[in-house]
């Protein structure tokens, strides 16, 4: 985890400034195919984001997403399972930046809603889909799944069919859950009409 900030390609001037100011928490920086990427320690994500917005003019956070690295071929045993990825845009300088934070299950990441208000729903989506908890979030609730939903659908260990199926019961006039039961499908070879396969 204590990798030294590297300058592989291009001009990473703002990243070198970040390394000086957050020497122990900027773990890695590389020039990616589309934009520079930095990996930051989770304890300083809010401070780094404040600096990126106020001093480097990244006015917008255009996306925040989670990545479950548990089945990735390059994922090493003992390294954090999840990546939280922040995509930032500077309209005034026409630049983009990707910031990553690495976390394990049940570890909390501080919310960046105080820096960019758009983070609110993005963080709720990452919580809903991956189970990552954002500390100090103003309203951390599920966003895409139902309130009684169990599990986090984008985790690699979540079953493809889910744990339960939901349907609307006309007699009870509400949504009802029942355990998911799938029957084995019997595949029948396709035949074309009028073709003698004899």
pLDDT digits (tens, 9 = 90+) for 25-50: 888 888 888 888 999 999 999 999 99
Residue 146 pLDDT: 80
Q: What is the pLDDT of residues 128-160, one digit of tens each?
A: 999 999 999 999 999 998 877 788 999 988 877
Candidates 125, 155, 157; CA nearest to 143 is 125
Q: List, in order of start, the domains of the chain with CATH numbers.
A: 13-144 (3.30.460.80)
pLDDT beyond 70 at 196: no
Q: Both ends of the chain: CA-CA distance in Å?
A: 65
Distance (Å, rounded) from C-alpha 79 to C-alpha 98? Answer: 20
The dihedrals phi and psi of 132, each to the nearest 5 degrees, come to -80, 130
Q: Given the structure tokens 């900027």, which residue do they identify?
A: 26
pTM, two decimal places: 0.76
């Amino acid at each position: 985890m204590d990798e030294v900030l590297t300058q592989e390609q291009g001009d990473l001037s703002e990243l070198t400034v970040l390394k000086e100011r957050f020497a122990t928490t900027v773990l890695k920086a590389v020039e990616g195919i589309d934009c520079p990427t930095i990996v930051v320690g989770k304890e300083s994500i809010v401070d780094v984001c404040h600096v990126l917005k106020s001093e480097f003019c990244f006015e917008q956070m255009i996306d925040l997403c989670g990545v479950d690295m548990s089945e990735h071929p390059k994922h090493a045993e003992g390294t954090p399972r999840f990546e939280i990825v922040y995509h930032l845009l500077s309209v005034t300088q026409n630049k983009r930046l990707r910031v990553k934070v690495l976390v394990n299950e049940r570890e909390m990441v501080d919310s960046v809603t105080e820096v960019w208000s758009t983070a609110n729903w993005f963080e709720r989506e990452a919580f809903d889909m991956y189970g990552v908890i954002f500390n100090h979030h103003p309203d951390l609730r599920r966003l895409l799944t139902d309130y009684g939903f169990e599990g986090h659908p984008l985790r690699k260990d979540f079953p493809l069919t889910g744990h339960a199926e939901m349907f609307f019961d006309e007699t009870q006039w509400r949504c009802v859950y029942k355990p998911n039961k799938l029957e084995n499908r019997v595949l029948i070879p396709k035949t074309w009409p009028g073709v003698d396969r004899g």
